[in-house]
Structure 1
Amino acid sequence: MAEIPVIQILDKKNYFKQTLVPLPNESLPPLKESSIQIRTEALCLTSNNFSYCRVGHLLGWWDVHPIPASTPAPYNDTSIYGRINCWGYAKVTDSTFAGVPKGSYVWGYLPIGTLPQNLTVKAGTVPGQILITDEYRQKQLPIYNRYWVHPESVSKEIAAKSDAIAYEAIVRVMHLTSYLMTGYMFPADPAQSVQLTPETADLAGATVISFAPGSKVGLAFAQLLRDPKRSSSSKPFKVIGAASEYSRAYVESTGAYDEVVSSTSDDPLAVLSRIGVSKDAKVAIFDFGGRAGAAWKWVAAIKAQYPRAQFTAIGADVSDPLAAAAPPQIEGLDFSQVNADGLLQLAMKKDGEREFWEGYESAWKEYRDTVLKGLKIRWGEGMGDVEKGWEKFTKNEVQADEGLMFKV
């Protein structure tokens, strides 16, 4: 019996609300030239999925995987409903592109569901990479149209639910963001920053405070900042993790931070005073998605006493979309927003596309094989388990040391 594809559909305004919709009557057109047909086979859920939902209307993330034509009412109303995206592996179920044979796999930005989709592609500049060329996808940031090609043997690793597959899906993009931040936004030589002024980019001697320090990107950032290969003269004075009570024990167990404090019960000024931070020192606060606006409360208190305080926003917390509040305005605050794709384009321009990716692949393999530890992979199977995983995130039931992975 042929598989009846199922897709996840979300309410765009209240994306905690999801529905699994079967599509028994959906049929795909024949493949065009230079095209592949893919079906999602292994995907992860992280807090990143909720960031895509939160700002999807600004960055076109609701449009990456359109609602199919056969979708029944009311879910075919694209003014209300949409599909969001995930990272993972898809099997190539058909191909007219010689560089990607049928039966192989691609890793990249995928739809949540089992409905295959057709994509027009071309070879990338970097061996083993392809780029999506469909017109409707060109309004997306380029990083989301870049896919990695893998051999058919990946199917055995997915069937075995291997940690290696999970690490690639769950952590790789998070690590890439941190690699770009520590190497190109806040590099050892601040004069080489591709985005910030040398003064803002300089973390030498600064006290770094990270919110959501146990997040995949936050943890990688701290570990890369404290990497022995980074010159000692460029390193921060302290790297502090401001964790929720829920995740504090895990964050401490990673050894990635000089100290871990409570984001809710510790007083920020008391923390800085205790570790000996002078009032003229730089305090650099990084928010990787701390809950309940904790980072902004610390920023307001610290900025009032430490004029050189600066703030960098990276991720959004998994908060109720119907109750989200705008952050406060803090006069004179040096504020930066991380855009991973923008950083990537600047980094490739600086180093050369192939040279950048060669350097990154080496750094990722080292991190994956020697640094990444303590992450407990929780595998689920089928779209029903994906639905349950999404609900766990909305209820704040996903532990900091968990990674949710699904074979569908």
Structure 2
Amino acid sequence: MGDQHWISKDNIRNTKWVSRDADAGEGEVRLTLDAFALTANNVTYATFGGPPMQYWNFFPADDPAWGRVPVWGFATITESNVDGIDVGRRVYGYFPISSELTVQPVRVGKSGFSDGAPHRQDLAPIYNTYLFTHTDPLYVADREAEQMLFRPLYMTGWMIVDSLMSAETPPKTVIISSASSKTALATAHGLHRAGVTTIGLTSPGNADFVKTSGLYSTVMTYDEARALSPEAPAAYVDFTGRPALTAAIHKACGKALTRSMVIGMTDWESDRTPPDDLQGPQPEFFFVPTYAAERAKALGPETLAEMTREAMVAFYPVSRKFVTPETVTGKQAIDAAWADSVAGEVSPDRGLICKL
């Protein structure tokens, strides 16, 4: 039997643990989770669990009122009824918070496999892939914590930067809200490497941390947003999801603002109704899996992987300067970590690595 962590879809603060059979049948493989990261990104998954993002659909619970939030981590193959997938091998991929996960591998190859479970076939392929650590070019043995914390987030950041810099007129200035969040830090790292001026917006309590990261050209608090006067062309990358803040930034930037991207929802309880009189470009929701699939098709999967690998591996040691991995062990501790994450009470310098 495997332990599963369920979250109420009506109130993501409410959670419970249930036991379910996880044994592998014919054509199936059982993965036992070694560890996974818990970040604000996972709260975003829960916030956008329903249509159109459908994050709840990756690992559905038996009761439709409850969901299983996805996380990124490592697992060991503990039972296999599929040729080419050996017990004892480890994989990196997308899991629910649980002790085990049973998958139905398809497209098995040297690098890994995809889950062919019927309910996952209409969902973004990037989330259905499990990579063998012994052949994964992005795997770094002594940086597993950083990979769990930052690999999916850095990929998001890399794609944001790629989209911005591939535009006909790339921005000279990028304003980033929720600047202390891990995905924002990853984005700022990529923009910094590209020579773009970055302005990080954050709360007063996180301002010193954001400055210490060294990834932003300027750090401002949210109440200072009305004083923004960026060099044109400028772009706004929104990880907060607070329409009132978006309106203030658009108004302050004026004609200098040429693009506005919505990435996440760290302030998940705020009123998300767009203002009627929003000035400047309409905010666009940037869905990474769709963009990544388009770039892989245009560049070729191998070329894209090599481009992201160099930047990502370079970021692992940099991240240690401002985020310290912290191990959280056991059901009660994971429940507490989830509650703190939902409440926004995990300080940005903590990187939560969970183990059952």
TM-score, with structure 2 as normaliser: 0.89
CA distance 1:129–1:360, change in 2 (3 Å): farther
Shift of 1:242: 0.9
- Distance of 1:112 and 1:366 partners within structure 2: 28
Contact 1:380 1:405 in 2 (8 A): yes
> Within 2, Cα distance between the matches of 1:318 and 1:113?
26
Gaps of 5+ in 1: 68-75, 152-156
Q: Distance in 2 between matches of 1:245 and 1:315?
A: 20
Q: Map of 1:48-63 to 2, 5 A cutoff?
A: 48-58=41-51, 59-63=53-57
Which residue number in structure 2 is paired with residue 169 of structure 1?
Answer: 148
Quote the sequence identity (%). Answer: 23
Question: Of 247, 259, 272, which aligns to 1:310?
Answer: 259
**Could you tell me how far 1:45 is from its partner in structure 2?**
0.8
**Aligned residue for 2:137?**
none
For each residue in 1:101-160, what CA deviation from the matched residue of structure 2 results, as whole angstroms up to 9, or x when unmatched? 101111111011114423333225xx4232222221111111111111125xxxxx9xxx
SS for the counterpart of 1:123 is coil
Q: Look up the match of 1:283.
A: 234
Question: CA 1:223–1:115 in structure 2 vs 1: closer, same or farther (change >3 Å)?
Answer: closer
Q: Cα offset for 1:404? A: 0.8
CA offsets per residue over residues 283-339 of structure 1, 9 Å max, x none? 31111236x556324334325x4364431111111433xx64423241542433211
User: So what's the TM-score if we normalise by structure 1?
Assistant: 0.79
Aligned equivalents of 2:2 and 2:211: distance in 1? Answer: 43
Q: What code does the residue aligned with 2:56 have?
A: W
Letter matched to residue 214 of structure 2 = G
Count of residue pairs the alignment pairs up = 350
2:311 matches 1:358: no
- The one of 32, 48, 53 aligned to 2:26: 32
Q: Which has the larger radius of gyration?
A: 1
Describe the shift of the 1:111–1:381 C-alpha distance in structure 2 as closer, same or farther (beyond 3 A): same
Q: What is the aligned counterpart of 2:7 among 10, 13, 28? A: 10
Listed as ranges, the matches of 1:277-356 within 5 Å are 277=230, 281-289=232-240, 293=243, 295-302=245-252, 305-306=254-255, 308-320=257-269, 324-329=271-276, 330-356=278-304
The answer to whether the Cα contact below 8 Å between 1:94 and 1:102 also exists between their aligned partners in 2 is: yes
Q: How far apart in 1 are the matches of 2:257 and 2:342?
A: 36
For the Cα contact (< 8 Å) 1:302–1:309, is it kept in 2? no
Q: CA deviation at 1:96?
A: 2.5
Structure 2 distance, partners of 1:355, 1:307, is 34
Q: Which amino acid in the other structure matches residue 219 of structure 1?
A: L
The whole-number CA distance in structure 2 between the counterparts of 1:49 and 1:148 is 20
Q: CA deviation at 1:28?
A: 4.3
Matches within 5 A, 1:221-260: 221-227=187-193, 230=194, 235-236=195-196, 238-260=197-219
Deviation (angstroms), 1:363? 2.5
Q: Give me the CA root mean square deviation.
A: 2.5
Indicate how the Cα distance of structure 1 residues 133 and 282 shifts in structure 2: closer, same or farther if over 3 A, else same: same
Is this contact kept in 1: 2:71–2:96, CA < 8 A?
yes
Could you tell me whether the CA contact under 8 Å between 2:251 and 2:279 is conserved in 1?
no
User: What one-letter code is carried by the residue in structure 1 that aligns with 2:176?
Assistant: S
| Structure 2 letter corresponding to 1:97 | V
User: Match for 1:296: what amino acid?
Assistant: T
Q: Distance in 1 between matches of 2:283 and 2:334?
A: 36
Secondary structure of residue in 2 paired with 1:6? strand
Letter matched to residue 95 of structure 2 = L
Alpha-carbon distance in structure 1 between the residues aligned to 2:129 and 2:290: 14
Closer/same/farther in 2, CA of residues 308 and 138 from structure 1, 3 Å limit: same
1:243/1:260 contact within 8 Å kept? yes
Query: Quick one: distance in 2 between partners of 1:356 and 1:379?
Result: 32
Question: Counterpart of 1:306 in 2: which secondary structure?
Answer: helix
Q: Distance in 2 between matches of 1:113 and 1:318?
A: 26
Gaps of 5+ in 2: 135-139
CA contact (8 A) 1:6 1:383 kept: no
CA spacing shift, 1:253–1:31, aligned 2, 3 Å: same
